[in-house]
Amino acid sequence: MPIRSCLALGALSVLAACASVGVGNEGAPHKQHRLSDSATVQAPRRTESLVKALLIQPLPADALTDTVSMAYARRANEFAFYQFASWTERPVRQIPRLLQHRLEARGVAGAVGVIGEPLRADWLLTVAIGTLHHDVSTVPSTGKLSLVAELFDRRSRTRVARRQFDASVAASQADSAAAAAALSQAVAQVFDALVPWLESELQRAAAAPH
């Protein structure tokens, strides 16, 4: 999958103008990749949920993740988009859904929803994606993901915990398919660290006097 040459951009506001279409190269096939949680082994389901309900709220994201275009970087803080490849869903929407599925499978809460669903919950987990891109400045190239999770007690309207999670996974080659695979592994690694952290914080906060 060829990588499109794109003017180096330092400001994310300008990045959004870098189109991911192949003008003049209509013969090249366009591929769509699904970002996934590629964990092969997950923790078994809890015998008892920690809380009755938990809501996940994705926070507004920048032009790297609030788009179906797949970003890559040849140099630090300079991004462009693959011309003939895209995500099936914007990562800012897909990652919270993937996290919802992981938390449901683990049984962290009796019910897990995403903001906008008709679910009442005392606990809110916000997810802010800092970056999600294919770093091709090194060999091997790497898929990089960074996100910040914050846990809120909605009863007292207080933040009870905050942590940043980062993952960098080597890609088999410098193309969009390898990038999608590496980034899906990065999602799994971040979730592997986030879920036990969330369980520990929920257990501590739920047991505290209110």
Give the Cα separation of 208 and 191 in Å (integer): 25
In this predicted model, which residue has the larger pLDDT, 177 or 206? 177
Q: What is the pLDDT of residue 27?
A: 46
- Percent of the residues in the chain that have a pLDDT greater than 70, as a whole number: 87
Instruction: Using the predicted structure, report yes or no on whether residue 15 has a pLDDT greater than 70.
Output: no
Q: 99: which residues sit within 8 A by CB, 6+ positions away?
A: 56, 127, 191, 194
What are 19's two structure tokens? 């189109």
Question: What residue has token string 């870098």?
Answer: 18
DSSP element (H, E) containing 54 = strand 51-58
Q: What CATH number does the domain located at 51-207 have?
A: 3.40.50.10610
Q: Which two tokens stand for residue 114?
A: 């995403």
Residues 202-207 have a mean pLDDT of 90
Q: How confident is the model at residue 18 (pLDDT cuts 50, 70, 90)?
A: very low
CB atoms within 10 A of CB 25: 11
Q: What is the pTM of this model?
A: 0.86
Q: What percent of the chain has pLDDT over 90?
A: 79
CA 82 to chain centre: 18
Token readout for 130 is 């800092």
- What's the average model confidence in pLDDT over 21-25? 30
Amino acid identity at 34: R
Tell me the CA distances in angstroms from 1 to 27, 28, 167, one per residue in order. 13, 9, 24
Residue pair 57/127 in contact (Cβ under 8 Å)? The answer is: yes
pLDDT of residue 43: 87
Average pLDDT over residues 173-193: 97
Q: Do 54 and 195 touch, CB atoms closer than 8 A?
A: no
Rounded to an integer, the average pLDDT of 104-115 is 97
Q: Is pLDDT larger for residue 62 or for residue 183?
A: 183
Q: Angle at CA 46, nearest 5°, toward 43 and 51? A: 125
Identify the weakest region by mean pLDDT among 97-101, 174-178, 196-200, 206-210. 206-210
Domain ranges within the chain, ordered by starting residue: 51-207
Q: Check whether 26 has a pLDDT greater than 50.
A: no
Which uninterrupted H or E stretch holds 39? none
